[in-house]
Copies of this chain bind each other. A is one copy, B any other.
Amino acid sequence: MFYHVKDLQFNARVSKPDPRFARVMLEAFGGANGELKSAMQYFVQAFSCHNPYPDKYDMLMDIATEEFGHLEIVGATIQMLLGSVNGKMKDAVETTPLSCMMKGKEAKEYLIHQAYTNPQFLVVAPGSPTLTDSNGNPWCATYISANADLSVDLRSNMAGEARAKIGYENLIQLTDDPLVKDTLMFLMTREVTHYQQFEAALETIKPNFPPGAMQTSPKYSNLHFKLSKGNEACGPWNKGKSTQLGEEWINIKDPLGEVRRTDGLTEREPEGTPRTEKSMREKDEQLSAEHSNEVLSATPEKNMQWCEYCNEEEEEK
């Protein structure tokens, strides 16, 4: 169950209206890396953690809930940036005294011009945020990543926070309003905070690589295929040892020859790695049993109930 309090988590303020920047800020409201995306991603991920991993459930819901609050901050800022658009559009008659107060037709023209960058600020929901990105694309659930496996989901969250962070970094450069900059700096900072929280959570899960339970085949694990010709660059991604499994990189400089010689790689043998098909299978079995047990032992077979209600009220404040 959710509660709402009318105070914002951060004191969102705006020096003066700026409909043009309002359009750009939509990216943080209904955009692919915006706050709704973060909030919904963690919220959806939380369901599969509820029983087996209550500490992760707690963390995910904490941060999801904070992101809903950030969505509110962004929406409030956009609403303020749009200034009097809503009020003026409610004056449906062109030649009223109000329109004169606006300093006549020029003022109206200016208003229209400003907002024309996103006509929906005038025609669809005058002077109010719409749940779209800065180009008017409606928010879409394909933005969220949730795979019901924490070693995958937490990595997606880290990447998502990185993407949200750079989004705010870009936004900060596009406004001169110091009050808006303050709010953006707060929001940008929080993304980095959450990044570190997800990273810390991932580190409590061991082993967490490769993600999931299944080991990879030692036959193909440390091969690098040179498929992009021209000046070939060398780096730790195709020379030395791989970052997590510590296997020696093997460069396949002639991929076509290699696949023809090995019947499409099927006859290749592991090389440069201590791992074998047997060690791989043993680990598969061990991790499968462990992971599956963790979840199954926390999943009742029938008569399931999501929460127990205790009549104590001390937690409620």
Contacts and interface: CB of A to CB of B under 8 A. Distances in A.
Given A122-B24, A126-B170, A225-B62, A199 B243 contact: yes
Interface string A109-139: 0001000111110111111111111111111
Given A131-B40, A217-B186, A257-B313, A98 B30 contact: no
Contact of A169 (B92, B141, B160): B92
B185 A217 contact: yes
Nearest to A244: B196
Contacts of A188: 214, 216-217
B8 A196 contact: no
Contacts of A1: 4-5, 7-9, 69, 72, 227, 255-256, 259
A159 interface: yes
A316 interface: yes
A89 B296 CA distance: 10
A118 B134 CA distance: 8
Contacts of A229: 3-6, 315-316
Interface in A139-166: 139-149, 151-152, 155-156, 158-160, 162-163, 165-166
Number of copies: 6
A260 B309 CA distance: 5
Contacts of A236: 200-201, 203-204
A77 to B, nearest CB: 8
Contact of A141 (B94, B139, B174, B199): B139
Given A3-B65, A231-B58, A192 B210 contact: yes
Interface in A1-48: 1-17, 20, 23-24, 27, 30-33, 36, 40, 43-44, 47-48
Most buried by B among A62, A64, A166: A166
Contact of A193 (B59, B73, B221, B312): B221
A199 B246 CA distance: 12
Contacts of A279: none
A232 interface: yes
Contacts of A79: 47-48, 50
Contacts of A242: 193, 196-197, 200
A189 interface: yes
Nearest to A78: B47
A3 B163 CA distance: 25
11 contacts: A1-B69, A4-B61, A55-B233, A83-B304, A92-B172, A92-B212, A96-B285, A124-B170, A159-B159, A197-B224, A231-B315
Given A6-B231, A123-B134, 10 more contacts: A3-B228, A58-B233, A62-B228, A93-B281, A93-B284, A120-B134, A126-B148, A126-B149, A200-B242, A200-B243
